[in-house]
Every structure is written in C-alpha cells, then in structure tokens.
Amino acid sequence: MSVIPDEYLRYLKTEKRYAVLTVNAYCIDLNEFFNWLAERRIDYIKVQPDQVRQWSAHLHRGGLDGRSIQRKLSSLRRFYHFLLREHQVKFNPAIDIRAPRFTLKLPATLTVDTINNFLDVPSHSWLETRDLAMMELFYSSGLRLSELVSVNVQDIDWYTHQVKVLGKGSKERIVPIGSKAMLALEKWLPLRLGLVDETEDALFLSQRAKRINPRTVQVRLKVWQKKHTLTQRLHPHKLRHSFASHILESSGDLRAVQELLGHSNIITTQIYTHLDYQSLAQAYDNAHPRARKRREPTDTDSSS
C-alpha cells in the first residue's frame, strides 16, 4: 500500500493551514483510495481518469451516497493538484470526474418563535447563564461549533459588539454580535471571572474551569432540548443554519450571508441556506411588474 507523502501533509498543515480534523479527513480518503489501488497493483503516480471513475463506481456500489463520494473525489483532486504542482504527475486524473447525482437534504431550521421561547428564559445557575450565552452567540453570529469553543475573551470587542473568530482553513473573520447576545455575555462574564484563573483565555468554560469541549456543548444543547420539550433536535449546526436562513429571509442579501458564515464560495451558501417558497412567491408577486395580479373589474368599471 502507498503511503501519503510527507511533503503533502506538510503542505496541508503549513501552507494551507488546515485544521487537524480536516487533514485527518483528507488522509482517510486518500488511504481508502490507496488501498483500492494496492488491490489492483496500481501506482498512484500512474493513475488514469478511468481508474478514478471505477473507484467512484466501486464506492457507489458499496452503498456510499453521492455527497460522500463527491467529498472523496474532492480529496483526490486536491492531492493530484499538489502532485501536478510539484511536477510528479503530468495531469490531474480526478479533475473531470463527477460523483453520482444526489439530492441535497436541507437541514431543518428553528422558527424565530421557537428560538425566542427557549432563549428568553431566566437563568438559575452559572451553568444555565453560560449555556444561554453560548446559544445566543451561536444564533446571533452564526458561528460553527469549532469557532465558538475557540473564542477567547479578548476576541470580543465590547465597544463595537463584534467577535473575531478563526474559521476553516484558519481564516479569520469578524462578525457582529446582536444586542441580546451581548447582554447574555455581559451576564456570563462576571461568573466566568469567579471560576477561572488568569492563565485561561477561553470565553466559555467547562465545570473544571477549562476551555469547554465541543462534545460538552452538544450535550448541553440536548439538555435544553429536553428541558423545553422541543420536537426538533437542538444542535449547533441547527442554530447556525437558523441564523443564516432568518437573515436571508429578511434581507435577501446572499453575499452578506456568505461573509457572515465565512464561506469561501457563494455556491456553498446557496446550498446551505434556503428561503420559504411562499415568502419568495409573495415577494415575486409584489415586486415583478408582470407578475402582479390584475385588479378585478368593478361595477363602476363595467358601467363606464
């Protein structure tokens, strides 16, 4: 079996500055491909497009969905792009290979009323105060789970109501914080100071007064889901998606939502967000000059 070249791993970690989990995901995809090649005694340097296509079909026959295959092909394209840049291959064999068609399943969102019902509640402990501050920041700023747990106290600009976050690919962006989220953070901060020493910069802490773990955040959201008997699952991605959907429905500004979410490609935003069809239809009927319904004739019109 072939081994992923060390120089490629360095490229991902240092030049592309990908997170550890992202690098690991690329490695898993490549190792699966290398195993498949080894069974057929094919050198990855000599791979042809037909062989990549055969691998994609092999994955599909094995029950893998189109979206997962698309991700694996993307890993291959990136790997061979690197080899092409380093003059180790003459062409990228994965460049024109497409995954089987698949239907995007849009994640469900929470309604504004539902969010208000479980966020507009009093807190009775430091734990609940922390949870409310986390959920408010999730929904107010559309953060990813990894971004939320990485936020430090000094990343919050208390004057301009903004937070600096480190997104995918270690890309830094600044996003606004809503007034209710600011109030929740202001309530949490004094309690945080009573729990932590000066060496810990994390904004959100665990019960051990250390930076909170992503898994802990997920568990706490499930606690709130049960506490408020929500019929829908409550998890970080749903709060982020609800943020994006509500902003897009109100503004219609896809580019702004793209910037707020930290998407490098607007196509990702188009897939990630959705609008209620009835709202779109109503906006179209009200705005398009040739879509407006004609006024029904009145008795006065017919008698003139």
CA dist 269 to 73, 109, 241, 263, 266, Å? 21, 15, 10, 7, 5
Helix (H, G, I), strand (E, B) or coil at 232: coil
> Which of 129, 157, 125 minimizes the C-alpha distance to 141?
157
DSSP 263: -
CA distance 91 to 72: 18
Q: Angle at Cα 36 formed by Cα 34 and Cα 39, nearest 5°?
A: 110
Task: Return the active site residues.
Answer: 144, 168, 237, 240, 263, 272
Q: Return the amino acid letter for 220.
A: R
CB atoms within 10 A of CB 52: 21
Helix (H, G, I), strand (E, B) or coil at 264: coil
CA distance 45 to 137: 47
Question: Tokens for 206?
Answer: 């665990």
